[in-house]
Copies of this chain bind each other. A is one copy, B any other.
Amino acid sequence: MNDLATAALPATPQRPACHADEWLAICALYADYAAALDARELDLWPGFFTEDCIYKLQSRENFDRGWPLATLAFESRGMLQDRVYAAKDTLFHDPYHQRHIVGLPRLLARTAPGWRCEANLLVMRTRRDCLPETLFVGRTLDHVVHTPEGLRLAERLCIFDNDLLPNSIVDPI
């Protein structure tokens, strides 16, 4: 052992106190969100967000460097609804199923209205007569807030490690 060992000790960040019920509510939000998309109930999707909200689908490279370019970027629930309309009614594409595998949620900071939190995410895509493919590998970085209707997403950044397959992101992640 040397001094480096001691220097490295503050490895795990000081974790904000969280009540078990609160953690479970965040898990439920994440699982409900995933289930709605996996069942392709796209009309439910905007309802997981607050009226003013941010939703972005962005590459890890751009996110890490602070570059603004995002594959998708929406700033209100109304814009999410427009996207749902596009995905359901105007985009022609090979049909596919999504399946979200959400990792253990990680609480980063308590905020006045809720929590900054994140979770690793793997989304598999399945098309008829094809082997399942990895559609998304990365994480969601979220601001979850309490509302009278329950927990909602004020912000969700979907940050993908992988180069996405062209033409393939029709439905929201």
Please encode chain A, from 23 to 49, with 1 for each CB lying within 8 Å of some chain B CB and 0 for all others: 110011111101110100001111110
Q: Interface residues of A: mostly helix, strand, loop or mixed? A: mixed
| Contact (Cβ within 8 A) B104 A5 | no
Closest B residue to A47 by beta carbon equals: B11
Cβ contact within 8 Å between B28 and A129: no
- Contacting pair B35 A1 (CB below 8 A): no
Number of interface residues of A (CB under 8 A): 69
- A129 to B161 alpha-carbon distance, docked (Å): 11
- Determine if B47 and A12 form an interchain contact, defined as CB atoms under 8 angstroms apart: yes
The 4 lowest CB-CB distance pairs between A and B, nearest first, are: A11-B47, A31-B106, A126-B161, A20-B20
